Amino acid sequence: MFKKNSLLKQSQQQIINGAVLIAALGYFVDIYDLILFSIVRVKSLKGIGVPDADLLSQGVLLLNMQMFGMLLGGILWGILGDKKGRLSVLLGSIFLYSVANIANGFVTSVPMYAALRFIAGIGLAGELGAGITLVSEAMPKDFRAYGTLIVSLVGVLGAVLAAMVGDLFDWRMAYFIGGVMGIGLLILRIKTSESGMFTAIKEKVIKRGSFLLIFQSGKNILKYLSCIFIGIPLWFVIGILITFSPEFGKALGMTEMPTAGHAIMYTYVGISLGSLFSGILSQWLASRKISIAIFMGLNGLFIAIYLLNPHPSSIGMFYLICLGLGIACGYWALFVTIAAEQFGTNIRATVATTVPNFVRGAVVPVTLTFQYLKGTMGIINAAGMIGFVCVMVAFWALAGLEETHAKELNYIE
C-alpha cells in the first residue's frame, strides 16, 4: 500500500512539473494574442479609418497575413527546436510575439497592421509545438495525456481573458497588455530546464531538425499529412464560423447580432472544457485515436447545428451553440500530441511545431475558397460545403495514423 501511494504521489509530481506549467502559461499568452485580433478586428479597423464596406475583406487580409507568418514561423521554429533545443524556441518565439504585440498597439494603416500581424504570426508559431514537445519528452509515457491536458486547459483560457480585455479596454491597450504578459513570461522561463531526451542526442552525429527527414519515405509523408488533416476542422470553426460570427448572424436572420468577442469567449470556454474531457477520455480509453474520433464527430454535428440555427431570434442559443462548437474542438492539444508522438526525437520539434501551423495556415486557402463560393452559393451553403469536406478528410486521415498512447518516444529517425 505504501509503495502504491508513493508511486501515485510521484506520478502527480511528474504531471505538475515546471515544464508543464511553463508550457501552459506560454500557450495562455499565445492564445491571448492569436485570438485578440479576431476580437478587436472591427474596432481596430474602424479605428484606423477602414470603411464598413471593407471590414470583412480587410479582416480576411490581416488574418491571412497572420497565418502566412505562422506557416513560415512553424518551419523556422521547428527546425531551430531540433537543432538548438526546445528552450531556444520557447524563449525566442515569446520575445518576438511580445514585441510585435506591443507594436500592434501603434498601427495607423492597414499595410502597417498587416506587416505586424505577419511578424506576430512568426512569433506565435513556435509556442505550442515546442511546449508540447518539451512536455511529451519530460513526462512518463503513461501520463503524457494529462500533461497536454493541463497545457491546453490553461492555455485556452487566454482566449477568455482576451475577450474580457477586448470588451473592457481600448483595442490598443488590449495589445499592450498582451505584450507585457509575454515579457513577464519570458523572465519566468529563463531558468526552465531543457528536455532530457534532446540533451541526450545533442552531441551525437545525427541529422537533427532536417525538414527533409519528414519526406524521406512515402510512409512518413502520409503520416505527416494525416496529422495536418485531422486538425483542419478545428481552424475552420475558429477561422470561419467564429471569427466571422457577426456576418453569419446577419445571414441567419438573427434579430440581435452576435459579436465576435462574445462568440470567441464562449467558444474558448467550450474548448477549455473539451480539452479536459478529451484528455481524460484519451487516458481512460488508453487511445488517442478513439478520443479524437469522438470529438471530430461532435465537431461535424455542431457545425451543422450552427449553420442551421434553429433559433435565430435567440442570441443566448447562438452563444450556447458556440460553446458546443468549442467543446467539440477540444482535441486541439491532443492532436498536436499525436503528431509529436509519430516521429523521432531528432525531428519531433519540427513536426510538432509545423503541423499546428500548417493547420492554421490552411485557413488561407479555406478562407479564399469560402470567399469565392459565398459569391455564388451564399455564406451559409459555402460554409456548409467546406465544413463537410474538412470533417470527412479528417476522419480519413485519422484512420491511417498509428495509435500512440504510451508509445516509447526515446528514438531517432
- Residue at 202 is within a domain: no
- Residue at 358 is within a domain: yes
**Nearest 10 degrees: Cα torsion 151, 231, 183, 350:** 100
Checking if the pLDDT of 15 tops 70, the result is: no
Which pLDDT tens digit goes with each residue over 331-370? Answer: 988 888 898 889 887 888 888 888 888 888 787 788 889 9
Which pLDDT tens digit goes with each residue over 148-200? Answer: 778 877 887 887 888 889 888 999 999 999 999 988 888 877 666 655 565 65
Residue 131 cell numbers, joined: 511546449
Whole-model pTM: value is 0.75
Checking if the pLDDT of 140 tops 80, the result is: no
- Residue at 134 is within a domain: yes
CATH number at residue 390: 1.20.1250.20
The DSSP secondary structure of 86-154, one letter per residue, reads HHHHHHHHHHHHHHHHHHHTT--SHHHHHHHHHHHHHHHTTHHHHHHHHHHHHS-GGGHHHHHHHHHHH
- Residue at 408 is within a domain: no
C-alpha closest to that of 31 among 275, 194, 225? 275
Residue 43 cell numbers, joined: 474596432
- Residue at 79 is within a domain: yes
More confident residue, 138 or 276: 276
- Residue at 413 is within a domain: no
- Residue at 52 is within a domain: yes
Structural domain tally of the chain?
1
Q: For residue 382, what are the domain limits?
A: 19-187+212-399
Query: pLDDT category, 124, cuts 50, 70, 90?
Result: confident
- Residue at 132 is within a domain: yes
